[in-house]
Structure 1
């Protein structure tokens, strides 16, 4: 195949260049050279092999318009002839027809590959987005391609503990936590890190963002694309930024939706501190909204009153979990979702209100864990921690965590300690850590790229979008003002979607920076409309 020949030639040139680079056999430079060579070799093989798309596994419940296949990648790119793993891929072919005029043909522009974030999120369902009105024009011109990154779902899945014991009984997580609770959480984090090392063995070290970026280049080649068109959401923006830095000549168009701060000094410990601070602001947005609808929910006439209702529910759940399934920790986890999507505000406000009025059923429905989803949830958490823990050094001294988060929790108590308990296994992680790449691209190195950001996004604070635009010359930032949805591509804002379509369909960007008015806040009462868009949900 011609594409394979292109990659073989590129690999030959790369090998020639690497051969001239002096480095000791065990040096970082030599390892980097070997990984570059391994990526070129794997991409050439994938281009030659392609992807044999067929019916998707029945368990995934994808429509017949979506076809599935696999791509083989090296577990270790320094050893491209060694152990291989397979990544699951899904695709819906471009419809080729204008959704407003079915008689008019639309030229195909190739594949649009999406990573929904996490790390640990499964992107196999992205091709289904093409049936939504917000995506039909893009789906007319592009094959919509999703995939499960390494470790996720059917792609050499990782596991760190028995899924049957992963979802624990209702728990209380006092804020601020007493010393005994901290000691118990430290032991739990150590056990989890130990379980990851024991279950995954020597392969665990190969699950990290640099390999995810290399996998993306192999997927590009397998799809027969000389250059990649990519949409990354949340963590997917960091993956895309790494790709743009590592393979700038392979970039066609890139959309970064809900951008993570790529500064190497913030990967990942400091980024998570920033998130906890931003969650407090978004939690305040939800409380202010609930207070404006006090007549409907009765949670409080001001934000302070809504906070008091939340604390009242926590105290009651600590004494007696709702339905025997939901304790204070489950309540906090459910309400933390209000920081991601304001579409959830009516649901969560209703559940909290009903519980305080004596009906626990809506809260149990929204906050409980489901045994049938235990394996998927455990796998997602395992990949999330494996990638973040492997990506960079983390403080190994509990005193550092305790000092930083105690200080932060004084002004941001809602999410801070929950974030600590999520990430603490990284303090006790086994195996070597990567050194974060200095994400950067000069004006002549990349075509124009598009960064989308909501100004009050808590999970990806707005400073990250500004930093990414600064590091990628030629990047355009589109801001949804005074809004906080985590992922705005294909959402309810027609201004944002207009910029997205103009870029993906015509390569047009609105200068250095553009802004859009916020989408309308949800009203009170039941909400049944699904949230559109492919974001990290």
Structure 2
């Protein structure tokens, strides 16, 4: 997940001497695209090391500021593979009136994603089969099947996107973002990134510290840990979130567990998945709900505390053998529409993840890591760890920056949620420490990311920082 920058130096001969002149920033030709939004395309180099070579296009959208404009606020929803175009479309419900008055809200699909020269590897039927495959192999034949499917996935991506695939890292996307900043006419970047978007923002700050105006990094990833450690931490994060859900669930009459404690509820969940591994659940669509799909369906509602009642309903139906609701949640997470078509978020997300993993583990190393992960996080550990197996068969990736210090950058605000299922709180602590100008703001709550989650305290601090560039006191809690 890493990127580079577009600069074409023009060599002009004057009085027999060559002199380099910086090029004018790229321009954006905006056109109306409905609901007060404007859309444009930004041309960027395929390979930032060769700015005069082949170019690709980045899809951009903006909602113009409604009042006393400060500049642009570039936003990213995470993923990797999440569409910044779709995210910006939700800005009226996601961002405060104050922010929408003062900033143009700008979203973009990073290279390889959505409407921006996308990565596409498999047919919809092939992708359905891959996602539903047993991803927690218990036997050697199951492991061999998963290994072959992962290899086929990687080879399909290389065959369909041979030019783009080596250039979809986060470093490349961060360099694209600097070209976008310049094309927007902003001297410095104002940015809100969530989840994976924090890695994109931190990488930008590291590459262009003098171009930082204000960066909010919400639900941070930790760039200093290995991919296996990241997956292990994330699996533990989902278990922590599930315990919090189970504790709340056990106080309600609609709770599907017969247990009296969160730990026993976790055991019931593990047993449900074991049964599904042997005998998939049925669904009203006719699609079998395999263990992998049931796991995805259980993970999805953990992202948002408001979805906990829906998870209880899904699990109650699953206990009766009906996986329809779990399947619906799984489809939501992987970008599958009702007609069976997929967005490219799964494929682009894998491509970016693998591009950011310079030393992927071997299958045998991943098997050992999955066994340890299952001990540390019995419900989700093995599944989360095996999810990166395609990277084992990916083209070699460049080494990312060793440490993202962003030395010399303006103050950067890092948000961490105590019981965040997908980006554990300690990652935000770590990133705030790594960034030379990082300030940590803590949300004592549940769910994935904090801004816009219902905490007036968090939202007030973030809005004040974006507008005034003044951070709260480091270590402030809401």
TM over 0.5: same fold?
Answer: yes
Within the candidate set 65, 85, 89, 1:94 is matched to 65
Q: Are residues 1:416 and 2:381 paired?
A: yes
Shift in Å, 1:397: 2.4
Shift in Å, 1:354: 3.1
The CA distance in 1 between the partners of 2:182 and 2:131, in whole Å, is 47
Give the conservation status (yes or no) of the 8 Å contact 1:244–1:251: yes
Q: Are residues 1:255 and 2:216 paired?
A: yes
The CA distance in 2 between the partners of 1:214 and 1:373, in whole Å, is 36
Give the conservation status (yes or no) of the 8 Å contact 2:75–2:88: no
Q: Are residues 1:272 and 2:237 paired?
A: no
**SS in structure 2 opposite 1:451?**
strand
Shift in Å, 1:130: 4.0
**SS in structure 2 opposite 1:292?**
coil
Q: Which residue of 1 aligns with 2:180?
A: 219
The CA distance in 2 between the partners of 1:504 and 1:347, in whole Å, is 34
Within the candidate set 414, 418, 427, 1:451 is matched to 414
Q: Which residue of 1 aligns with 2:476?
A: 514
Give the conservation status (yes or no) of the 8 Å contact 2:281–2:323: no
The CA distance in 1 between the partners of 2:37 and 2:66, in whole Å, is 12
The structure that is helix-richer by fraction is 1
Shift in Å, 1:168: 2.2
Question: What is the CA deviation profile of residues 81-121 of structure 1, one whole-angstrom value per residue up to 9, with x for unaligned ones?
Answer: 1111110001001111xxxxxxxxxx211000011111111
Q: Which residue of 1 aligns with 2:46?
A: 75
Question: What is the CA deviation profile of residues 53-75 of structure 1, one whole-angstrom value per residue up to 9, with x for unaligned ones?
Answer: 1133xxxxxx4211111111000
Question: What is the CA deviation profile of residues 39-66 of structure 1, one whole-angstrom value per residue up to 9, with x for unaligned ones?
Answer: x96xx44x2x42111133xxxxxx4211
Q: Which residue of 2 aligns with 1:55?
A: 32
Within the candidate set 439, 455, 463, 2:426 is matched to 463
The CA distance in 1 between the partners of 2:59 and 2:44, in whole Å, is 11
Q: Are residues 1:141 and 2:106 paired?
A: no
Q: Which residue of 2 aligns with 1:393?
A: 358
The CA distance in 2 between the partners of 1:172 and 1:83, in whole Å, is 37
The CA distance in 1 between the partners of 2:195 and 2:453, in whole Å, is 14
C-alpha distance 447-320 of structure 1, shift in aligned 2 (>3 A): closer
Question: What is the CA deviation profile of residues 117-138 of structure 1, one whole-angstrom value per residue up to 9, with x for unaligned ones?
Answer: 1111101133334423852111
Q: Are residues 1:341 and 2:304 paired?
A: yes
C-alpha distance 392-155 of structure 1, shift in aligned 2 (>3 A): same
Q: Which runs of 5+ in 2 are unaligned?
A: 1-5, 11-19
Within the candidate set 154, 157, 171, 2:115 is matched to 154
Shift in Å, 1:297: 2.8
C-alpha distance 281-77 of structure 1, shift in aligned 2 (>3 A): same
Give the conservation status (yes or no) of the 8 Å contact 1:171–1:329: yes
Within the candidate set 240, 248, 253, 1:281 is matched to 240
**SS in structure 2 opposite 1:414?**
coil
The CA distance in 1 between the partners of 2:46 and 2:130, in whole Å, is 36
Q: Are residues 1:407 and 2:372 paired?
A: yes
Shift in Å, 1:171: 4.5
Give the conservation status (yes or no) of the 8 Å contact 1:167–1:371: no
The CA distance in 1 between the partners of 2:324 and 2:368, in whole Å, is 39
Shift in Å, 1:437: 4.1
Q: Which runs of 5+ in 1 are unaligned?
A: 1-6, 13-36, 57-62, 97-106, 517-537
Normalising by structure 2, what TM-score?
A: 0.88
Q: Which residue of 1 aligns with 2:140?
A: 179
Pairing 1:314-393 to 2, within 5 Å after superposition: 314=273, 317=276, 318-323=278-283, 324-325=286-287, 326-357=289-320, 361-367=324-330, 370=336, 372=338, 375-377=341-343, 379-393=344-358
Question: What is the CA deviation profile of residues 17-50 of structure 1, one whole-angstrom value per residue up to 9, with x for unaligned ones?
Answer: xxxxxxxxxxxxxxxxxxxx9xx96xx44x2x42
Shift in Å, 1:320: 4.7
Shift in Å, 1:438: 2.0
Normalising by structure 1, what TM-score?
A: 0.79
Give the conservation status (yes or no) of the 8 Å contact 1:71–1:86: yes
Within the candidate set 297, 319, 339, 2:255 is matched to 297
Which range is displaced more, 182-191 or 67-76?
A: 182-191
C-alpha distance 362-464 of structure 1, shift in aligned 2 (>3 A): closer
**SS in structure 2 opposite 1:113?**
strand
Q: CA RMSD in A?
A: 2.7
Give the conservation status (yes or no) of the 8 Å contact 1:389–1:433: no
C-alpha distance 299-163 of structure 1, shift in aligned 2 (>3 A): same
The CA distance in 2 between the partners of 1:331 and 1:505, in whole Å, is 43
**SS in structure 1 opposite 2:146?**
helix
Within the candidate set 146, 171, 178, 1:210 is matched to 171
Q: Which residue of 2 aligns with 1:60?
A: none
C-alpha distance 161-255 of structure 1, shift in aligned 2 (>3 A): same
Q: Which residue of 1 aligns with 2:17?
A: none
**SS in structure 2 opposite 1:504?**
helix
Shift in Å, 1:210: 0.8
